[in-house]
Amino acid sequence: MRVAYFDCFSGVSGDMCLGALVSAGWPAAELAALPARLKLEGVRITVGEARRGPFVATRVEVAVEGKQPHRHLKHVRAIIEAGDLDQQVRDRAVAVFERLADAEAEVHGSTREQVHFHEVGAVDALVDVVGTVEGLRALGVGEVFASPLRLGRGAVRSEHGLIPVPAPATALLLRGAPVEMPDIEAELVTPTGAALLTTLVRHWSGEPSFRLERVGTGAGARDLKEQPNVLRVLIGESRPEGLPSRPVAVLETALDDENPQFVAALIPRLLDQGARDAMVVPTVMKKGRPGMWLVVVADPERAEALATLLMRETMALGVRARIERRYELARRPLEVETPFGPIVVKVATLPGGEERAAPEFESVRAAAERAGRPLREVSEAAMAAWARRRP
């Protein structure tokens, strides 16, 4: 599987991500064509070189004609959904903006649908977010890693006057991510950069082991006196050295006085809040009472938040937690064409390089509903399409 490692020694922003990906081999012409694919008028992207300290880096700038309106999440989502984009790109770009909206809403005491984007709501943010996700797809990246994020200090000017660094929305977005506070008077991590990496990075576990193939360097807008203002991305193939593994948190609690309907409704909420898996097992508790054993698997940094949700939404008085090591196969989503339209299959790589696939159920269900055909027929068509694509 191809991986990308963002080396954020001087922070991260959306335009730095674009510059790094173009520098790593994503054709500048494809980036320049993005506004047309998003049906954005009066938007022009320029790609050039900029020197930052000892680095000659790629600088991306977005020029917009006329004044842009404030946009709510529904407007941004509509632009992305109407764009000429791969469905996976649409989904990931929307997820980034949903994280931004949630952070802005928390800052302003509002909701994700009511808040309108300020500094991150202009056209350049759409280009930054969609472009970064599209660039990673075009370069074949299946998993994203990143170094700790260096935040900077001081204050920046916004629509609300001077605000501290990191900006309020940035600080909220970075909960659970490793950060550093260098003594540099600058906003090194922007809200857009924070939302991109905290959405795309699955877990913050240090540098991955991979065979390096490409290096890209993107330039930030300013020259810093303390250090080069650049973002590097390192791209390569992960090395198949046995089964990959990583730590996970396992949360457990037993319920004997809970409405089963409430517990069923809680499972999707746990998944929405970052759980990787959640299950309920019937059990017999003390005094012979029937009960439910609720188990949640999550990244360690999400353990406390999920335990809090469990105790808030159930009658549980405590939640057991332990850190375990999970072996897992490398996997990637792949869209295949079928007579019922595009369907996403999950492709897993076994030790030795052999692959196996399974259709993504929600994608199959959506296609089956559109075509009015049985789920099994649509699922079999997806597997046949994947088999035809195999070498």
What pLDDT, on a 0 to 100 scale, did the predictor assign at position 206? Answer: 64
119 and 202 within one domain: yes
The alpha carbon torsion through 204, 205, 211, 216 (nearest 10 deg) reads 30
Q: How many domains does the chain have?
A: 3
Token pair of 182 as six digits: 């260098």
The per-residue pLDDT for 90 is 94
The answer on 50 and 22 residing in a single domain is yes
- Residue 330 · residue 244 · CB < 8 Å: yes
At 154-213, the pLDDT tens digits run: 776 666 667 788 888 899 999 988 998 888 888 899 999 999 999 999 777 666 778 899
Residue that finishes a domain, picked among 207, 238, 269: 238
* Domain identity same for 300 and 257: yes
CB-based contact 283:292 (threshold 8 Å): yes
Tokens of 16: 């730095």
346/311 same-domain check: no
Model confidence pLDDT, tens digit, residues 297-345: 999 889 999 999 999 999 999 999 998 888 888 888 989 999 999 999 9
Confidence of residue 119 (pLDDT cuts 50, 70, 90): very low
| pTM of the predicted structure, to 2 decimals | 0.62
Pick the last residue of a domain from 190, 219, 238.
238
Is there a single domain that holds both residue 302 and residue 379? no
Token pair in block for residue 326: 């999970």
Closest residue by Cα to residue 17 from 223, 170, 202, 233? 233
3-state DSSP helix/strand/coil % of the chain, to nearest 5 = 35, 35, 30
In this structure, the number of other CB atoms found within 10 A of the CB of residue 325 comes to 8
Give 340-388 pLDDT, tens digit per residue: 999 999 999 887 778 899 999 999 999 999 999 999 999 999 999 999 8
Same domain for 249 and 233: no
212 and 251 fall within a common domain: no
Do 20 and 73 belong to one domain? yes
| Cα–Cα nearest to 60, from 198, 217, 224 | 217
What range does the domain containing 348 cover? Answer: 330-389
Under 8 Å between Cβ of 58 and 19: yes
CATH at 254: 3.30.70.1380
Each residue of 256-285: pLDDT tens digit? 888 899 999 999 999 999 999 999 999 998
Of 203, 238, 273, the residue at which a domain comes to its end is 238
255 and 318 assigned to the same domain: yes
Are residues 19 and 120 part of one domain? Answer: yes
Clarify whether residues 322 and 290 are in a common domain.
yes
Strands (E), the chain: 2-7, 43-52, 55-64, 143-146, 149-150, 155-158, 161-164, 179-180, 210-219, 230-238, 245-255, 275-284, 290-298, 320-327, 330-338, 341-349, 355-359
Residues 355 and 259 in one domain: no
**Confidence band (pLDDT; 50, 70, 90) for 110?**
confident
Mean pLDDT in the chain? Answer: 89
Which pLDDT band holds residue 115 (cuts at 50, 70, 90)?
confident
- What does the pLDDT read at residue 120? 42
